[in-house]
Structure 1
Amino acid sequence: MSLAYYKPVWIARSDGEREIKTKKHGREFNGPTDVQLNKEASEDDYFELLPVYHEVAQEWKRIFGGMLHREQKGQADQKWILVDFPENYRLYKNVRKDRGKTDAYFLYGYPVGRKKRYKSALDFFPHLLWLAEGKSDDRTDCSCKHCAPEWIQEVKPLPGRDGFAPVKREAPPIKKENVATKPQNFASSPQVVVKQQQRSSSQDNKPSKVAAPKVIPPTASTAVPPVANSALPRAPAPSLMTPNHLPSPKSREQDQDAHYGRYIYRPGELTWFNRGTAWGLSVIIKRDLFKDQRNQDRPRYLVQPLSHPFAHPATKVISAETDLRPWLAWSAPSPTHQALAASNPYYNTVDWRAVIEGRYGVGDAEVDGSILAAKMIDDSFALIEPLSNNTTTTGERTYNSMFLGGEKLWVGEPIRLRPGNGQDILIIHQIIEKLKPNSTNVASATIHVFGDIYHYTTIPYTSNQEPAVNPNLPIRLRQDLDYRNRITYAKLSNRTISYWKIVQAGARLGIDQIKGRWYESSILLPVLHSNFQQDLSQGVITDVGSWINGRGDANSAAGKAGTRYKDRLETFGKAVPAGTKISKGLDGPAEENVFPNANAPAALMASLAVSEAAQAQGQGQGQGQGQAQGQSQVQGQAQQVQGVSDGDIAEFMDLDRMEDGFTQNYIENGGQF
């Protein structure tokens, strides 16, 4: 059976509301309740949001396309499919396993509230047609079941399975746009939009007056001169739905982290650091920029190594980012004490005094403390920087940032998702804390991120196209995309071009679905991948996300929210010295950013020697031997997820620093070679 060719159409206006205002509860989510969405509470009867590419959602949109084709008197040789539901309308599946009930589907978003939902495509089509015609802003002119009484509802089924149409209704034909003559297989080929169609937004619940569905060109129609070898081809921005506007930074630190190539790591984050003979685990407590020999700004970091509660190594200045790795870049080894490794304890439940005294056998208490502390941090989250629009009337509060596991996440930046085989990202537009009804207890609150989901998509490059660019993608994402397209374009025998394809606008996901921070492949991959230069010569650049773990993997707890703490220091507990402070950088006092005297290495080494001597005296000679054994184990077992053997870690220590390499030159020239 051959695939059908569809012409994609969208509805240019919407009256849908994601939240509504009620007299009793204030503003509330216009969809299934938290109880209904809680699968764990009732596995036999719950709701789940369907992604836009779900087969049922696609079937609804195909049916709507058939309906609109009939009503708008589309060309006989065409079939239409609706690109997406009108803005803020979302399709949910009601999973019902009890008493032999079948699953049901409901479309939410009607501006009166969650009780006014549509149970089928037939139910919703009269309202969809009213939105498409754009003749009136008055919903009483609509003949759907929620807008009009039953005697006005004129919808009757038509023969066939392609759709339905109202009786005796004359509608103006759809406005035709310039489209290519070659039919498009909508089900299998990518959409490349030359110029993004503008859809008006709904303000104060007043629909705009844009009439008729807009036809999206299925192929690019604007020709440009072929791209020269020195020019980078534009990446497509096939916005088949309206993305949300990118939030602006609300602090100077947030603005710094939004810049491409400024810093990889952030204060408060958990990282691996180069100890010289092995790798250890630490938290970053401050960072700044310093001038290198070429008088250029370079990042440096002050890290605090993790340990057990009774002794802590001195801080260390890291002046090369190649001497750091993200926590998720490697998998943590087992504790050096076999008794600890067998019991897999939590950091706060270990009798560390007994470990130091040797009652757990031979091993290294400092190394084991850092390993278990890192796993404790990986299991944590903390919401920070509450926003001024917080309100208790709706039970929701929003935040500008959060620590999730070993990483810090900002509103306005991309994050990696567990759904979508790790190839999907979400641009955070809100971090939301949802309290339970009639409760102010944050311990029982649920945490969500709200934003747009994108999928990294690659297609063969055609030199006579210059598709539009999505301005709602963060600059880091766009700069990295330009870099990656330059690499794949350079391979003459197999030129490809990639873009971030929006697959869901306005998604609301739990933090258990977050895999971790998104990192630029152009910046981090040269650090993690020993054969990076060889791949470049072949026109290949993989996604760095496939080289690193996900949050929760270290504790075999992937997909769990974890333990909440009031702030980052509480998360670290006794794994760092008392009095440790995490710098707020440009947003905090200047004295917080002062680094130890970089011109006194002898004093620093002496301090380290005293600390190590004191530890050796407390643990005994046998324990000192265990320390060497433990450091060797960290070096040998902490390895990347893919393609890296134990020996590669030593190779990383000898790599040319990134500031002297291919990627840094690209950063310094503002994304140009």
Structure 2
Amino acid sequence: MREREAHQWAVSRSDGKVQPRSIKSATGVRTPVPLEDPAYERWEFLAGNALREMFYKPDHRLAGSDFFVEFPGNYEIYFEARAGKKDYYLYGHPSGDSYKAARDFVPHLFWLTTGSEDIKDCQCTLCKRSVAEHARANAPKRKTSKPATTKAASTAPSSNTTTPVPAPAVPVTSTAGPAAPAPSVPVVQQPSASPHPATSAHVPAPAPAAAVLSPAVSQAQSRPQAVSAQQPQPGSQPRQEIKPAAASSAAPVTPAPPQQQQQQHQQQHQQQQQQQHQQQHQQQQQRILPPVESVLFRDGEVVWFKNGASWRIGIIIRNVSANATAGVRAHCVIRPLAHAALVIPPTAKLEEEMRPFLAFSVPSVSNNLTAALGNKPIHEIDWEAQQQAMAAGDPHKKDMLGMEASKMAVLVIDGSYSTFNRQSVPEPTPTRTFYAGVFLGSERLTAGEAVRIRPSPGDPPSPKPYPNVMAIRAIFVETTAEGERLIFFGDVLRLEEVPLSQPPAIYPHNLPAAMVREKSFRDKVRAHAGVRHDWVPMPGNMNQNAMRLETDVRGRFYETEKLMSIIDPARLQESVGKGELVEVQQYLNNRTDKATTRTTNRSEALMGVLPGNELPLSFGPGIIED
């Protein structure tokens, strides 16, 4: 249907609600528009180009390109014939109301790409209306007492006049929870016999990001408030402990003098201004954060997918959400990897037909092919000439050459990284630039989530084969005299099985959602044994506010239930039935421990892997690459 060349925004989340096939309005009846109607293409391009204006500056290389966006599941265009013309409306919003123009839907489209599931964070007119109606419906009713005298009754407000109750201020949902204090002095690590290379004693720790991607879910709901409140801020006076007043006949408290009251008022005003300033910062940061990764496989990741009786390597170019009305299941659109002269159409795969890249090992490239190509980098090879010489029109040989080239391609990708969504919070330094996320090898990682970390030399051994996990609070690239290095900042924790009677572990920050779900799953499975699982900070100064190089990252942290459900569902069901846990870690390899090369963006790592007319790739409006 789309004849003009354009880039596509991928919106993988939908809150769309199925609507009736016929909707009565005040002026007539509205019915769905067929997909082949030009109105669909017009609205998709209007919305897509509006998103482009939001995400790309005028001097960006894609600022002049056309963009379109396929509407999320259950969002449909309806029309109403009136006075010899058609009026169009977009239905699907959970409220049942419609958008009257494509531009009205753009704020909601943007919200669907963010990590928030709170409609208070959406700036579209329909969500704002829903929030206001909910606030009015739940506003406390004003109670009026009977007047004591006739005079009092004459001055009391009429009971028929309701004082409007303002809707509560809509806070920006900070997915990171309370930010930890930013050290203003270098963090000096304790010397050890074998210092870990990722944590240099003279490197100051960064201020944690003001907002991160994954929903922040507290592990201990009843955590004592004094855990972080009693810690003195750098450069501030220690907080005095406040004790409850003893019951006695002490003299009444003397009111503060007017001058002191004025000072208190000024301090409160300054605090309110600071909170508003922080909220504005968070709102600004929220615009450039990638979406929550509730899906198992992410746009831009390299994965294995089922190809008949074998497995092949490809890159996810789009996640497609489920559409119950159309009978469509959630799936990924994957472009198989090969070489620049081999055009292979994308293929759609369900989660159960896919595996993380680290689930299998890549076979070695044929020695004969390596010799024939002269050990050249994949982007320097004349693939048209090589395909003609080696395949000579034979489809089987052409496919085999593509398979061998995919092995070369994935080695290049796995040895590279590229950052996205440059951040202004924490404030960059002359040597550090912060980002919301990074394509690291085959995987896509973001601040606010969890990664598996290699143990430091001084770390005690884990009681079970649980990995050390870092809850990432910030990602930055540091420029040194030796070059650039990618650094992950956060806390290193590990999972421990403990008796239910043991007091819960205290962790002063919010855990990534995947870690919370992992704990919840394990607690349910092992409840019969009278135990639970706690994420416990690893001991040692090098593991709190820690910095780890890319070489310390083993890979993404995968939840046991989610990954085992596709790798070996029968074994998962059997183990859960017995009240036992199967360790998903034994199904995963570790990523390389060698330093990787930085590329400008994900597409640069695919040079020579995909035909030039398929590049650059776009991974949706939530991912802004350099």
Q: State the alpha-carbon separation in 1 of the partners of residues 202 and 414 from structure 2.
A: 36
AA matched with 1:410: T
Q: Which residue of 2 aligns with 1:332?
A: 362
Match of 2:516 among 463, 478, 481: 478
Match of 1:315 among 322, 337, 346: 346
Partners of 1:90 and 1:109 within 8 A in 2: no
| CA pair 294-540 structure 1, distance change in 2 beyond 3 A | farther
Q: State the alpha-carbon separation in 1 of the partners of residues 496 and 190 from structure 2.
A: 25
Deviation, structure 1 residue 524: 0.6
Instruction: Write out per-residue CA displacement over residues 461-491 of structure 1, whole angstroms, 9 at most, x where no aligned residue.
Output: 44x97777876102222122101210122xx
AA matched with 2:317: I
Q: State the alpha-carbon separation in 2 of the partners of residues 348 and 373 from structure 1.
A: 9
Instruction: Write out per-residue CA displacement over residues 527-576 of structure 1, whole angstroms, 9 at most, x where no aligned residue.
Output: 12352222222212233233111112xxxxxx222111010000111212
Instruction: Write out per-residue CA displacement over residues 174-211 of structure 1, whole angstroms, 9 at most, x where no aligned residue.
Output: xxxxxxxxxxxxxxxxx9x9757523344461132246
Q: Which residue of 2 aligns with 1:177?
A: none
Q: State the alpha-carbon separation in 2 of the partners of residues 90 and 417 from structure 1.
A: 19
Does 1:501 pair with 2:516? no
Partners of 1:488 and 1:496 within 8 A in 2: yes
Match of 2:453 among 400, 414, 417: 417
Partners of 1:329 and 1:549 within 8 A in 2: yes
Q: Which residue of 1 aligns with 2:160?
A: none
Partners of 1:289 and 1:298 within 8 A in 2: yes
Q: Which residue of 1 aligns with 2:610?
A: 576
Does 1:281 pair with 2:313? yes
Q: State the alpha-carbon separation in 2 of the partners of residues 335 and 356 from structure 1.
A: 19
Instruction: Write out per-residue CA displacement over residues 256-303 of structure 1, whole angstroms, 9 at most, x where no aligned residue.
Output: 435xxx3111111101112233221110111231224797x9532211
Does 1:400 pair with 2:436? yes
| CA pair 311-255 structure 1, distance change in 2 beyond 3 A | closer
Match of 1:564 among 583, 587, 598: 598
Q: Which residue of 2 aligns with 1:661?
A: none
AA matched with 1:380: S
Q: Which residue of 2 aligns with 1:198?
A: 227
AA matched with 2:526: T
Match of 2:584 among 538, 544, 547: 544
AA matched with 2:510: N
Partners of 1:521 and 1:543 within 8 A in 2: yes
| CA pair 294-472 structure 1, distance change in 2 beyond 3 A | farther
| CA pair 518-466 structure 1, distance change in 2 beyond 3 A | closer
Does 1:458 pair with 2:517? no
| CA pair 337-471 structure 1, distance change in 2 beyond 3 A | same
Number of equivalenced pairs: 367
Q: State the alpha-carbon separation in 2 of the partners of residues 265 and 195 from structure 1.
A: 37
AA matched with 2:472: I
State the TM-score, normalizing by the size of structure 1.
0.48
Deviation, structure 1 residue 309: 2.0
Q: State the alpha-carbon separation in 2 of the partners of residues 452 and 406 from structure 1.
A: 23
Q: Which residue of 2 aligns with 1:269?
A: 301
AA matched with 2:420: I
Q: Which residue of 1 aligns with 2:189?
A: 90
Q: Which residue of 2 aligns with 1:300?
A: 331
Instruction: Write out per-residue CA displacement over residues 392-435 of structure 1, whole angstroms, 9 at most, x where no aligned residue.
Output: 75311111111100011111111111226771111111112111
Deviation, structure 1 residue 370: 1.0
Q: State the alpha-carbon separation in 2 of the partners of residues 393 and 423 from structure 1.
A: 33
| CA pair 253-299 structure 1, distance change in 2 beyond 3 A | farther
* Match runs of 1:582-601 below 5 Å: 582-587=617-622
Give the match's secondary structure for 2:480.
coil
AA matched with 1:587: G
Instruction: Write out per-residue CA displacement over residues 215-246 of structure 1, whole angstroms, 9 at most, x where no aligned residue.
Output: xxxxxxxxxxxxxxxxxxxxxxxxxxxxxxxx
Instruction: Write out per-residue CA displacement over residues 105-124 of structure 1, whole angstroms, 9 at most, x where no aligned residue.
Output: x998999xxxxxxxxxxxxx
Q: Which residue of 2 aligns with 1:364?
A: 400
Instruction: Write out per-residue CA displacement over residues 71-98 of structure 1, whole angstroms, 9 at most, x where no aligned residue.
Output: xxxxxxxxxxxxxxxxxx63134779xx
Q: State the alpha-carbon separation in 1 of the partners of residues 595 and 201 from structure 2.
A: 28
Partners of 1:415 and 1:516 within 8 A in 2: yes
AA matched with 1:500: W
Partners of 1:280 and 1:305 within 8 A in 2: yes
Q: Which residue of 2 aligns with 1:136?
A: none
Q: Which residue of 1 aligns with 2:175?
A: none
Give the match's secondary structure for 2:295.
coil
| CA pair 458-310 structure 1, distance change in 2 beyond 3 A | same
Give the match's secondary structure for 2:511.
coil
State the TM-score, normalizing by the size of structure 2.
0.51
Deviation, structure 1 residue 515: 0.8
AA matched with 2:588: I
Give the match's secondary structure for 2:439.
strand
Partners of 1:304 and 1:313 within 8 A in 2: yes
Q: Which residue of 1 aligns with 2:40?
A: none
| CA pair 470-199 structure 1, distance change in 2 beyond 3 A | closer
Partners of 1:384 and 1:399 within 8 A in 2: yes
Give the match's secondary structure for 1:416.
strand
Partners of 1:335 and 1:367 within 8 A in 2: no
Give the match's secondary structure for 2:437.
strand
AA matched with 1:434: E
Partners of 1:450 and 1:509 within 8 A in 2: yes
AA matched with 1:364: M
Q: State the alpha-carbon separation in 1 of the partners of residues 283 and 567 from structure 2.
A: 31
| CA pair 254-366 structure 1, distance change in 2 beyond 3 A | same
Q: State the alpha-carbon separation in 1 of the partners of residues 522 and 284 from structure 2.
A: 26
Instruction: Write out per-residue CA displacement over residues 306-343 of structure 1, whole angstroms, 9 at most, x where no aligned residue.
Output: 1122112111122x211111111111122356553999
Q: Which residue of 1 aligns with 2:155?
A: none
Give the match's secondary structure for 2:522.
helix
| CA pair 17-517 structure 1, distance change in 2 beyond 3 A | closer
Unaligned runs of 5+ in 2: 1-180, 206-219, 243-281
Partners of 2:339 and 2:611 within 8 A in 1: no
Instruction: Write out per-residue CA displacement over residues 562-620 of structure 1, whole angstroms, 9 at most, x where no aligned residue.
Output: 1110100001112122233433435379xxxxxxxxxxxxxxxxxxxxxxxxxxxxxxx
Partners of 1:263 and 1:299 within 8 A in 2: no
Partners of 2:338 and 2:409 within 8 A in 1: yes
AA matched with 2:597: T
| CA pair 474-431 structure 1, distance change in 2 beyond 3 A | same
C-alpha RMSD of matched pairs (Å): 4.1
Identical columns (%): 21
Partners of 2:476 and 2:487 within 8 A in 1: yes
Deviation, structure 1 residue 369: 1.0
Give the match's secondary structure for 2:608.
helix
Q: State the alpha-carbon separation in 1 of the partners of residues 371 and 585 from structure 2.
A: 28
Q: Which residue of 2 aligns with 1:427?
A: 471
Partners of 1:271 and 1:281 within 8 A in 2: yes
